[in-house]
Amino acid sequence: MAQSLEEDYIYSDDDDDDDADPNDYYGDECMEEDQEPVDEREPDPEHFDFKCLTVSEAKNFLDKQVQETCGKLKVDKRSAQVLLMAHGWIFSELEKRTEQDISNLLIEKGVRARNIPQVRKGGYVSSCSVCLQRKQPSDLKGLLCSHSFCKECWSKHFETLINNGIATDLQCMASDCHIGAPEEFVLSFLEEDSHRQKYQKFVFRDYIKSHYNLRFCPGADCSIVAYSEKPQSKRVDCIQCKTSFCFNCCGAYHAPTDCETVKKWLMKCADDSETANYISANTKDCPKCHACIEKNGGCNHMQCSRCKYDFCWVCMGDWKSHGTEYYECSRYKENPNIVNENAQVKAREALKKYLFYHGRWENHAKSLQLEAVTLANINKRIQEKVMKNEGTWIDWQYLLNAASLLAKCRYSLQYTYPYAYYLESGARKRLFEYQQAQLEAEIENLSWKIERAEKYQRGDLENQMAVAEKRRQTLFKDFFPT
Amino acid sequence: MSSGLPRRIIKETQRLMTEPVSGISAVPDEQNARYFHVHIAGPKDSPFEGGNFKLELFLPEDYPMAAPKVRFVTKIYHPNIDKLGRICLDILKDKWSPALQIRTVLLSIQALLSAPNPDDPLANDVAEQWKMNESKAIETAREWTRVHAH
């Protein structure tokens, strides 16, 4: 008994494992033969190597890069920082430029002055050309361009620009002078701690934003910086705030659709949402008895509470037709005669097509939200069962795993719609929509079974989980670039 | 009233009075020393020649760290000046330097009248006309100058 308890712990820790049957309680005894060997030759298209760095780790990383560059190019720290920033912190890119001519590059980037600065003669009374106040020459400070201004003006100049979010781009005050102000120079004029902190925060932000391998986590108030050796449009899961985002565009994770397409899609949705909202209302009538039905669960397999008719919420058709291979409600049927129609018909057809995809996109987003409610219900049910001595808490964990797998699959399914919308008609689109339909059918089956978990055997549910995840992986293998 | 006024603004105002720039006048408002009534004469050999354009110029609280705010009050047909009189000029935006002055800003605006830049437009319709049919655009600018700028 003690031994099997220990096994429970090992298995229940496995929450995030992507493989099928991750938490199989009876794994050793009865499921072994069913498990497929992991195929090593086919890489997981969603796999992505990244590291989550804290602010100080990121700073150390940048410092190390600066130091290495100082050594390799034989330049000072400031030059290395400016040059790295201008080349996305990719040393090989920078090296290509510096091989030709490093001193002109430093002049171009405002690190060095073009002309040898004239040395001002001291001794006479002079004034600051910004505030026009008389100053001792010793009170006038300047960068290597020899444009000198008083301490008060430098402070005000820097504070004003820092408040506008400018940090690494701070320059000399003279007009048309592009000599940059190094960090120590700026800090020497900032007296208030709040200004100093703000400035240093912005400098760090500028470094990260210009860095090819680093991204800020887009989570609210999250300070994590993600690092990847080979940046790609793949998923990053923040270890601190748990946000999932795309490393490339820092938007919400959107596989299998690419960054550009999803951006276009989201823009389109924002533009057309009024029409779409108007057309896709929140309630629908039962296709048989016309009772008004509000959807209160994630599953799209609906059963009218009045007439017990089973139908699909998406296409409003009989659910029976969804059981077979010919599940087609995720496929948009284009009008084959569209080329011969006039502009008005074409515009209507375009709107119809958009609304078709947008309706499904919205529907799965809503289902995803509603399944959060299901999850809360599952937790409640587990509590009740445990209190009634119907199995232990661990016994019921498979329900939570099922719910999290369902959320993952539905999320991917949601993001297949923008992909399909922009895919050109043809064999590839037909294959995509076939796989999408298969995935959708299995997801709805899973959702249905989870909502009615009491009526289904655990094995039945876990089998359904494996099938849904397999469908998801199949679609990703074919359509999401590795 | 002017006790809180920075020396820089006082000095600049004095110099604008004692050494005026030809074709430009800038007079501070009686109520507000940071608000200037500006007149710029249309430059010679430009479609604005002969016109007398009225502008308003305001020095914000953080001047000279921030650029002055300038706007045409007189209607003008120019690709870089819009219906509301707002001006598209780099030194009034990101190229501002605290070393620039009211005088240099007004000189730049005068120069903009001599050399319209339809490739960096603010008034899109005007810029388009300027590129498509320059002679007609110049004709319109002359017409507007004659009707509005006197």
Q: Min CA distance, A141 vs chain B (Å)?
A: 15
Calculate the alpha carbon distances from A461 to A89, A362, A443, A473, A474 in Å: 49, 27, 12, 18, 20
Residue-level pLDDT at A217: 95
| Lowest-pLDDT range of A25-29, A210-214, A471-475 | A25-29
**Residue in the structure block whose two tokens are 């705030």:** A241
Cross-chain Cβ contact B99/A147 below 8 Å: yes
Give the pLDDT confidence score for residue A67 in this predicted structure.
Answer: 94
Is the pLDDT assigned to residue A17 strictly greater than 80? no
Q: Give how far Cα A186 sits from Cα of A83, A110, A220, B59, Å.
A: 19, 15, 30, 25
Determine the average pLDDT of the residues in A239-258: 91
A217's tokens:
């986590």
Mean pLDDT computed over A74-99: 91
Given a cut of 90, whether residue A15 has pLDDT beyond it is no
Residue that wins the pLDDT comparison between A122 and A318: A318
What is the number of CB-based contacts under 8 A between chain A and chain B? 39
Instruction: Inform me whether the C-beta atom of residue A129 falls under 8 Å from chain B C-beta atoms.
Output: yes
Compute the distance between CA of residue A171 and CA of residue B26 in angstroms, rounded to an integer: 30
Please answer whether residues B107 and B100 qualify as being in contact, where contact means their C-beta atoms are separated by less than 8 angstroms. Answer: no
Helices within A130-230 (DSSP H only) = 151-163, 183-189, 193-210
pLDDT of residue B9: 94
> Strand, coil or helix: what is A325?
coil
pLDDT band at A21 (very low <50, low <70, confident <90, very high): very low
Active site residue A222: no
Chain A residue numbers touching B66 (CB-CB < 8 A): 160
Mean pLDDT of all residues in A195-200: 95
Mean of pLDDT values over A82-101: 89
For A129, the closest of B7, B66, B99 (CB atoms) is B99
Binned at pLDDT 50, 70 and 90, residue B58 comes out as very high
- Average pLDDT over chain B reads 90
Lookup: tokens for A17: 């494992």
Closest C-alpha among A209, A260, A212, A217 to residue A235: A217
Tell me which of A193 and A120 has the higher pLDDT. A193
Collapsing DSSP to helix, strand or coil, B4 comes out as helix
Is A469's pLDDT higher than 90?
Answer: yes
Q: Decide if pLDDT at A4 tops 70.
A: no
Strands A244-246 and A235-237: antiparallel
Please state, for a pLDDT cut of 70, what percent of chain A lies above it.
80
**B45, B114 contact by CB (below 8 A):** yes
Mutate to test the interface with A, among B8, B11, B108 (most CBs of A within 10 A): B8
| Higher-scoring residue by pLDDT: A378, A42 | A378
Q: What token pair was written down for A415?
A: 């993001």
CA distance B100 to A150: 16
Which B residues in the span 63-122 are in contact with A, Cβ-Cβ below 8 Å?
A: 64-66, 91, 95, 97-100, 104
pTM of the model: 0.69
CB contact under 8 A, B98 and A147: no
Average pLDDT over residues A296-309: 75
Mean pLDDT of A121-125: 51
Quickly tell me which residue has 């501002």 as its tokens: B96
Residue B39 burial (CB < 10 Å; 0-12/13-18/19+)? middle
Shortest Cα–Cα distance, A122 to chain B (Å)? 22
CB contact under 8 A, A132 and B7: yes
The pLDDT of A446-470, averaged and rounded, is 88
B34-38: long-range contacts, CB 8 A cutoff, minimum separation 24:
B34/B5, B34/B9, B34/B58, B34/B59, B34/B60, B34/B63, B35/B59, B36/B102, B38/B70, B38/B106
Confidence of residue A211 (pLDDT cuts 50, 70, 90): very high
**Average pLDDT, integer, range A389-397:** 84
Q: Looking at residues A178-192, what average pLDDT do you find?
A: 93
Q: Exposed, middle or buried by CB within 10 Å (0-12, 13-18, 19+), for A374?
A: buried
Over residues B115-149, the pLDDT tens digits come to 988 877 777 788 888 888 889 999 999 999 999 98
Hunting for tokens 């190019």 — which residue is that? Answer: A73
Contact A176 B97 (CB under 8 A): yes
Helix (H), strand (E) at residue A84? helix A77-86
Average of per-residue pLDDT values in chain A? 82
Alpha carbons within 13 angstroms on the beta-carbon side of residue B140 total: 15
By DSSP bridging, strand A51-53 and strand B52-58 are unpaired
pLDDT tens digit sequence for B72-96: 999 999 988 988 999 988 899 888 9
The one catalytic residue in A153, A299, A312, A315 is A299
Q: How confident is the model at residue A245 (pLDDT cuts 50, 70, 90)?
A: very high
Mean pLDDT of A253-269: 88
pLDDT in tens, A303-362: 887 787 888 877 777 877 766 545 567 666 666 666 656 666 666 677 788 888 988 998
Distance CA A236, CA A468 (A): 23
State both tokens at A383: 């509590």
Residue A8 has pLDDT above 80, yes or no: no
- Is residue A420 within 8 A of residue A258, CB to CB? The reply is no
pLDDT for A77 equals 92
